[in-house]
């Protein structure tokens, strides 16, 4: 019988339950990990990760596993779906934690030493005392000169004459037409809405940049396309706030190349020993346009539908 390692303490209860069920089914079937790998078409290394709770197996692997161990795939699939949701929530929390840390670092880097935080500054205004009846301020230069009243009255009378003349001219239009109102000009404030807090780029400005560093991940992103390519799970991640997309993979082999493409733009990322990677961003107005591809060092490129 296989001797299992203790599962990580921080593992979500749903993932822990699912992984424990996989272990029990392997024990009950009498199969070794190598035998499970042979019957499912997934490598021994991948199954060691699945059974240690370090990686969630793709749905196809669970279907093959159920057939190899004589298990009802519907019941096992239900546990997998619950574990998959918990795994996604854990990744989202991680992304949000990283995003919060990046925002805090950016604010600290941009702040000047000794600068008061916004909203806590105090502005002192000196309001001069009102002028005395003689037009003099107590400690200042002479106040404004009082203008004679007669020129003001003459100007007001002239304005009234102009208004009356305009009304008379309009009254001569017998067809009942009214003068067209001046066309409204667009307000400078009617510009594009500001991006959410923490988002550092948008559209073409995001091209070639790290989605995590630019604040486009976490709650601002969603998976719009995915595929199980061999043992790897590839996703197209899209951020409406950034109008950009990138590719993400888990369970890939070290040395694999991950690629994201949209229109004529493309970016690449290399997979390390962890089997996980993501690419820089490409600008994408349409979330259905990008596609993600995985290219082994020696093999054929396989892609999501895009």
What are the pLDDT digits (tens) for 36-50? 999 998 888 889 989
DSSP 149-183: HHHHHHHHHHHHHHHHHHHHHHHT-TT---PPPPP
In degrees rounded to 5, what are phi and psi of residue 252?
Answer: -85, 170
Check: CB of residue 72 under 8 Å from CB of residue 66: yes
- Residue 197 confidence (pLDDT) above 60: yes
- The alpha carbon torsion through 220, 221, 222, 227 (nearest 10 deg) reads -170
Q: CB of 213 within 8 A of CB of 202? A: no
Kindly state the tokens that stand for 248.
Answer: 């993400």
> Can you give 266-288 as a three-state secondary structure string?
EEEEECCCCCCEECCCEECCCCC
Q: What is the mean pLDDT of residues 227-237?
A: 88
Name the DSSP class of 239.
E
- Domains and their CATH numbers in the chain: 13-93 (1.10.260.40), 203-303 (no CATH)
The two tokens of residue 10 are 């921080």
- Rounded CA gap, 8 and 5, in Å? 9
What pLDDT does residue 74 have? 87
Residue pair 251/232 in contact by the 8 Å Cβ criterion: yes
Which pLDDT does position 171 carry in this prediction? 47
Q: What is the DSSP letter of 136?
A: B
284-298 tens-digit pLDDT: 999 999 999 999 988
Burial classification of residue 50, based on how many CB atoms lie within 10 Å of its CB (0-12 exposed, 13-18 middle, 19 or more buried) = buried
Phi, psi (rounded to 5 degrees) for 135: 85, 10
Do 261 and 282 contact (CB within 8 A), yes or no? yes
Element (H, E) at 259: strand 257-262
User: Considering the entire predicted model, what is its pTM?
Assistant: 0.44
Length of the chain: 306
290 touches 232 (CB < 8 A): no
By the 10 Å C-beta count (0-12 exposed, 13-18 middle, 19+ buried), 258 is classed as buried
CA distance 192 to 241: 12
CA-to-CA dists, residue 242 to 197, 266, 301, angstroms: 12, 17, 28
82-100 pLDDT, tens digit each: 988 888 776 666 555 565 6
Higher pLDDT, 270 or 135: 270
């Amino acid at each position: 019988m296989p001797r299992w390692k203790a599962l990580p303490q921080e593992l979500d209860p749903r993932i822990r339950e699912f992984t424990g069920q996989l272990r029990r089914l392997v024990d009950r079937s009498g199969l070794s990990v190598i035998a499970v790998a042979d019957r499912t078409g997934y490598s021994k290394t991948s199954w060691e990760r699945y059974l240690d709770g370090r990686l969630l197996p793709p749905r196809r692997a669970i279907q093959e596993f159920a057939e190899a161990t004589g298990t009802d795939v519907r019941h096992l699939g239900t546990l997998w779906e619950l574990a998959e949701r918990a795994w996604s929530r854990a990744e989202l929390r991680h992304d949000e934690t990283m995003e919060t840390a990046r925002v805090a670092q950016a604010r600290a880097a941009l702040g000047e030493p000794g600068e008061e935080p916004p909203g806590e500054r105090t502005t002192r205004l000196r309001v001069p005392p009102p002028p005395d009846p003689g037009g003099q301020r107590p400690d200042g230069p002479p106040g404004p000169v009082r203008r004679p009243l007669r020129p003001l009255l003459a100007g007001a009378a002239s304005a009234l004459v102009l208004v009356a003349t305009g009304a008379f001219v309009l009254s001569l239009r017998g067809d009942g037409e009214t003068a067209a109102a001046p066309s409204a000009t667009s307000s400078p404030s009617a510009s594009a809405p500001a991006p959410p807090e923490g988002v550092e780029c948008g559209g073409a400005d995001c091209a070639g940049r790290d989605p995590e560093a630019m604040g486009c991940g976490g709650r601002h992103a969603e998976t719009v396309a995915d595929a199980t390519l061999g043992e790897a799970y590839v996703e197209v991640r899209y951020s409406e706030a950034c109008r950009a997309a990138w590719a993400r993979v888990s369970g890939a082999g070290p040395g694999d190349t991950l690629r994201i493409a949209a229109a004529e733009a493309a970016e690449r990322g290399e997979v390390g020993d962890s089997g996980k990677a993501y690419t820089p961003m490409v600008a994408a107005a349409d979330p259905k346009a990008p596609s993600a591809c995985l290219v082994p060092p020696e093999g054929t490129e396989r892609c999501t539908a895009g």
